[in-house]
Structure 1
Amino acid sequence: MIRRLLALAVLLWVLGFLWFAVALPQPAPASRTDAIVVPTGSGGRIQRGLALLRDDAAPHLLVSGVAEEVRPAEFAAEYNVPAATMRCCVTLGFAALDTRGNALETAQWVEEQRVRSLRLVTTDWHMRRAALELGATLPADVVVVQDAVRSEPSLFTLFLEYHKLLAAWVVSLGKG
């Protein structure tokens, strides 16, 4: 009996990992939202968020989890963001240290800004966990569009992120 349960658990883990690795989230189709949220991390996220802002996909952008030592002028220079855009449309969030922190920082910003819809921009391998954590912190009536940035993750990255997703899922079950 124990062997069968163990074999079933291993089979479920393998099938889950295969699904996770093969069916990575994709970029979202063009649509307009109240805001764009980009958790810092892998390359391409911030560039994608800024491109969406330039393309008028949303009037505001939150970059969550920015290192404390980064100044807005440095950010603007690094990503070639005009000063007027930084003043009106870009918020740098310095409170988050991890994905859960990104979700908490985003939820507070969403409440302050009265955002009803947002586009979450993060790497394809990170999207499921980021969306899970964000969904646990946002009011149910806030619409989240998942916009994955394509990448070529290593097997190690996929393995690690799959286990982080499982852990976040278990934690969310405990809260629900």
Structure 2
Amino acid sequence: MFRRLAAFAVLIWLFGFLWFAVALPGPLPASVRTDAIIVLTGSQGRIEHALEVLEAGKAPDLLVSGVDRQVRPREFAAQFAVPPRLMKCCVTLGYRAYDTRSNAIEAAQWVTEHDAKSVRLVTADWHMRRAALEIGREFPAGVRLERDAVPSRPTLGTLFLEYHKLLARAALNLWERL
């Protein structure tokens, strides 16, 4: 009996990992508009994509969550070629986050301050599921979260680690509800 249960658990884990690795979330259609954009710092392409969406007028405000405390707005603007008018009016650099959990807390506070009712979340495809789970837990009721995953080429190791982080977070959420 124990062997069958163990084999069943391994199969569930294996199929879950295969689904996680093969069916990565994709980009949001360009036509979707939201009240705000939140981008989580990390892998290449995230910030660039969020700035493109902002410049295209798909949302009026952008929070860049998880910016290194040493980075100044002028340096950020120079690195990503952000026009001064856009930097001044529409881009907030968030310095309080250092991991996905603190990204969620920082994002929720910013969304509340900006009274946003719809948010486009920008992060890497492999990171999207856990980031959306964390942020969804923290957001005020009634805020719609749109997932805009930036395509990447994650390694097997990255996928393996992220899958287990997602499982751990989902288990913790379940435990907290009990």
Give the TM-score normalised by the residue count of structure 1. Answer: 0.98
Does 2:77 correspond to 1:56?
Answer: no
Task: Give the Cα separation in 2 of the matches to 1:141 and 1:24.
Answer: 26
Deviations 1:52-91 (A, max 9, x none): 0000010000000000000000000000001111110000
Q: Which ranges of 4 or more aligned residues in structure 1 deviate by more than 2 Å?
A: none
Report whether the alignment pairs 1:126 with 2:127. yes
Q: Is 2:108 the partner of 1:107?
A: yes
Q: How does 1:71-86 map to 2 (within 5 A)?
A: 71-86=72-87
Alignment of 1:12-27 (within 5 A): 12-27=12-27
**How much does 1:5 deviate?**
1.1
Give the letter for the 1:130 counterpart.
Answer: A
Aligned counterparts of 2:98 and 2:168: Cα–Cα separation in 1:
17
1:91-106 pair list within 5 angstroms = 91-106=92-107
Q: Name the count of aligned residue pairs.
A: 176
- The residue type paired with residue 102 of structure 1 is N
| In 2: Cα distance, 1:98 partner to 1:175 partner | 21
Pair 1:142 & 2:143 matched:
yes
Report the equivalent of 1:8.
Answer: 8
C-alpha distance in 2, partners of 1:24/1:33? Answer: 22
SS at match of 2:147: strand
Deviation at 1:174, TM superposition (A): 2.0
Per-residue deviation, residues 8-49 of structure 1 (Å, max 9, x unmatched):
110000000000000000001121100000010010000000
> 1: distance between equivalents of 2:155 and 2:127?
13
Alpha-carbon separation, structure 1, partners of 2:140 and 2:76? 30
Return 5+ residue gaps in structure 1 as ranges.
none
Q: Which amino acid aligns with 1:81?
A: V
Alpha-carbon distance in structure 1 between the residues aligned to 2:99 and 2:21: 22
RMSD: 0.7
In the alignment, what sits opposite 2:29? Answer: 29
Task: Letter of the 1:155 partner, please give it.
Answer: L
Any idea what SS the aligned residue of 2:97 has?
Answer: coil
Is 1:170 the counterpart of 2:168 in the alignment?
no
Q: Provide the rounded CA distance (Å) in 1 between the counterparts of 2:45 and 2:169.
A: 24
SS at match of 1:68: coil
Identity of aligned residues (%): 62
SS in 2 for 1:76: helix
TM-score by length of 2: 0.97
Q: Tell me, which stretches of 5 or more residues in structure 2 are unaligned?
A: none
Q: Indicate the SS of the match to 1:125.
A: coil
